[in-house]
């Protein structure tokens, strides 16, 4: 039998290894940023174009590399982090696999410029598909600059697997935030297509959180601090009232690395039990410092999933620490059973001495004295009666003022819900609200039950789409324009949506310092809902969009707006509003399903009702 097993060529092996390390442009960003951190950089610049597909460049002022190190760094299993197997269990650095740069170079065009601090000139390398095509001496500042161009140029199938530029940029932003948060003593700049998204100076942890997520985050943070023999916990949690349905600001850092741990996340949820609803997600930014020997970070190629030696103890410590912080900073309500408000001295009486009450006694009072003489003698102490009191009763016998002429309000007539069942719904429409969630009305075949929230979403959705088709939405001007502040990535998202928001009726102006002025809104909105609408728009846009953007921007915006502005379950409606909503629903092109393809109404046949009484 002929031999069928053979060794793969190096370029094929590198492409296979790249699949483990480089899944998307965000993976390249993570590896390059971590290498810059390990190089001792104090200032790091990230430049991205077209969601990282065209260019990912990281420039740092670290220690740099010599000509030999620069060439050797792109070989497989080449690393400066470890020298023996024991070093894997005592890691204090970021990247250590020794395959990151080799994997990146196998599937992209890479340009490297680097220079050590004491060298007069640096080195320049040009690599295409693992092959070094050029190497020369270059005049470059201290540090390293790595530019990764045309990612997956030699693997078209893998490149077609990538999402849209907007989605890939969101993943890059997530990786950037994870690195920037934990290394708050390093200055970062982040540019996308020439626009500055982040400019973070050296600062403390709280300031870094505020600069990354906006000034509104400062009031939400509650400090956490606890040190035990097992783990040291520090950082911040968000107040319960700022919890939200989607997973937002949730960050665990174990020994300076971002990690994902559903088990520890459950400990946070257990600490917030009773303070937030079960479907809400709390926010947190927590550092966990443990013995490097007590944690295994080699169980996943991206090193985000880790294994702790004693997770049960860590769970209990983390849960109690969060509860202690919530109570210590008066975030949770408390009852003091030893405190009696009745014993408190009013402010106006503080510093005053007690006054002895004076008791007066009628010395002439004689209990054995007759009633007539007592009445005469004490008459001087009585108040004078009101003169003319007899006139109050002079007209009681008149006929006009008798109780027979009193009129009472008649009882409100309630229409009979069983009347006119055989008539058409439009000619004799009857409706009532069930549990402030459903609208029940009659039809010829029986009874119709409508979900008021979903019905209103469908009505609003078709109104938004109608405005989008004619490219002209009706807008109402605000008497006092509202100014909102956002982060850099949020501003970029709003600029992408600006055209579609204008069509729907929004009038917005982008100012300086990441501020947006809203001077006009759609007529179906209220001024108080502006902040909620923009927050929901940005939060829901963070969710993954299907490939090729099946949901276009205008459709996505319309769905988010109608879900935010629609009638909520539990909102009472009068009969006129109920009937108007029913008529609007059946005036839509699609009345059976809401914008998210959920059933709006159901019917109960008369025959089925009659069978219940057999």
Domain boundaries, the chain: 10-200, 205-328, 431-603
Q: How far apart are CA 70 and CA 239, in angstroms?
A: 47
Q: Which residues pair with 251 in a beta bridge?
A: 285
Spelled out in words, what is the top-level CATH class assigned to the domain 10-200?
alpha beta
541-600, pLDDT tens digit by residue?
Answer: 655 444 344 345 667 777 777 877 888 888 888 888 888 888 888 888 888 888 888 899
Predicted confidence band of residue 252 (pLDDT cuts 50, 70, 90): very high
Name the architecture of domain 205-328.
2-Layer Sandwich (3.30)
In angstroms, the Cα distances linking 566 to 95, 128, 431, 554 are 48, 54, 20, 18
Between 200 and 490, the more confident residue is 200
**Residue 596: CB atoms within 10 Å:** 12
How would residue 49 be classed by pLDDT, with cut points 50, 70 and 90? very high
SS3 393: helix
Does the pLDDT value for residue 375 go beyond 60? no
Of residues 519 and 392, the one with the higher pLDDT is 519
Instruction: Give residue 187's pLDDT.
Output: 95
Averaged over 22-33, what is the pLDDT?
90
Mean pLDDT of the chain: 79
Instruction: Report the chain's C-alpha Rg in angstroms.
Output: 37
Q: Where are the beta strands (DSSP E) in 277-318?
A: 284-289, 295-296, 307-308
Is pLDDT at 179 greater than 90 in this prediction?
Answer: yes
Give the H/E segment covering residue 429: none
- Is residue 381 over pLDDT 80? no
Least confident of 48-62, 201-215, 419-433: 419-433
pLDDT digits (tens, 9 = 90+) for 509-528: 887 777 889 888 887 778 88
Q: Is the pTM of this model over 0.75?
A: no
What pLDDT is recorded for position 401?
Answer: 52
Mean pLDDT of 325-347: 64
First to last CA, the chain: 80
Confidence of residue 377 (pLDDT cuts 50, 70, 90): low
Tell me which of 182 and 292 has the higher pLDDT: 182
Q: Among 138-147, 349-358, 446-455, where is mean pLDDT lowest?
A: 349-358
Q: What is the mean pLDDT of residues 314-320?
A: 93
- As given in the structure block, the two tokens for residue 120 are 């007069």
Question: Which CATH superfamily hosts domain 431-603?
Answer: MutL, C-terminal domain, regulatory subdomain (3.30.1370.100)
> In this model, does residue 426 exceed pLDDT 60?
no
Task: Report which listed range, 125-129, 365-369, 554-558, is most confident.
Answer: 125-129
The whole-angstrom separation of Cα 614 and Cα 606 is 13
Q: How many CB atoms lie within 10 A of CB 485?
A: 14
- Closest-CA residue to 231 (of 296, 164, 321): 321
């Amino acid at each position: 039998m002929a031999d069928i097993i053979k060794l793969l060529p190096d370029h094929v092996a590198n492409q296979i290894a790249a699949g483990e390390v480089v899944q998307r442009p965000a993976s390249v960003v993570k590896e390059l940023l971590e290498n810059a951190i390990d190089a001792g950089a104090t200032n790091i610049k990230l430049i991205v174009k077209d969601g990282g597909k065209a260019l990912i460049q990281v420039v740092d002022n670290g220690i740099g590399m010599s000509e030999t190190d620069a060439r050797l760094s792109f070989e497989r299993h080449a690393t400066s982090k470890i020298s023996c197997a024991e070093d894997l269990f005592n890691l204090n650095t970021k990247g250590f696999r020794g395959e990151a740069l080799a994997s990146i170079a196998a599937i992209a065009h890479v340009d490297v410029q680097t220079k050590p601090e004491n060298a007069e000139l640096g080195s320049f390398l040009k690599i295409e598909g693992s092959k070094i095509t050029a190497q020369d001496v270059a005049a470059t500042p201290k540090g390293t600059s790595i530019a990764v161009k045309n990612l997956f140029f030699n693997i078209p199938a893998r490149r077609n697997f990538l999402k849209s530029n907007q989605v890939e940029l969101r993943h890059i932003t997530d990786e950037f935030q994870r690195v920037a948060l934990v290394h708050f003593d390093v200055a970062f700049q982040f540019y996308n297509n020439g626009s500055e998204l982040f400019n973070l100076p050296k600062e403390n942890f709280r300031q870094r959180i505020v600069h990354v997520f906006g000034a509104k985050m400062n009031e939400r943070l509650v400090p956490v601090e606890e040190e035990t023999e097992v783990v040291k916990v520090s950082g911040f949690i968000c107040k319960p009232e700022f919890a939200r349905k989607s997973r937002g600001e949730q960050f665990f850092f174990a020994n300076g690395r971002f990690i994902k741990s559903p088990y520890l996340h459950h400990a946070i949820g257990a600490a917030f039990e009773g303070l937030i609803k079960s479907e809400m997600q709390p926010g947190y930014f927590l550092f966990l410092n443990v013995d490097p020997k007590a944690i295994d970070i080699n169980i996943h190629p991206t090193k985000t999933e880790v294994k702790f030696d004693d997770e049960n103890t860590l769970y209990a410590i983390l849960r109690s620490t969060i509860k202690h912080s919530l109570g210590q900073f008066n975030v949770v309500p408390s009852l003091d059973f030893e405190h009696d408000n009745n014993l408190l001295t009013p402010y106006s009486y503080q510093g005053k001495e007690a006054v002895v009450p004076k008791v007066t006694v009628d010395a002439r009072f004689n209990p054995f004295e007759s009633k007539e003489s007592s009445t005469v003698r004490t008459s001087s102490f009585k108040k004078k009666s009101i003169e003319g009191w007899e006139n109050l009763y002079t007209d009681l016998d008149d006929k006009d003022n008798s109780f027979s002429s009193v009129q009472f309000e008649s009882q409100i007539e309630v229409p009979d819900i069983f009347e006119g069942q055989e008539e058409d719904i439009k000619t004799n429409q009857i409706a009532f609200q069930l549990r402030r969630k459903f609208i029940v009305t009659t039809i010829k075949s029986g009874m119709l039950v409508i979900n008021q929230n979903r019905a209103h979403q469908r009505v609003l959705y078709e109104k938004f789409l109608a405005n989008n088709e004619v490219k002209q939405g009706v807008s109402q001007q605000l008497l006092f324009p509202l100014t909102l502040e956002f982060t850099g990535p949020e501003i970029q998202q709003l600029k992408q949506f600006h055209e579609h928001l204008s069509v729907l009726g929004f009038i917005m102006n982008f100012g300086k310092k990441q501020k947006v002025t809203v001077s006009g809104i759609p007529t179906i909105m209220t001024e108080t809902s502006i902040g909620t609408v923009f927050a929901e728009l940005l939060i829901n846009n963070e969710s993954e969009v299907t490939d090729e953007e099946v949901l276009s921007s205008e459709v996505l915006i319309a769905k988010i707006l109608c879900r935010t502005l629609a009638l909520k379950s539990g909102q009472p409606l009068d009969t006129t509003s109920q009937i108007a909503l029913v008529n609007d629903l059946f005036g839509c092109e699609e009345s059976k399903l809401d914008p998210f393809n959920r059933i709006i109404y159901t019917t109960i046949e008369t025959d089925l009702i009659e069978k219940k009484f057999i």
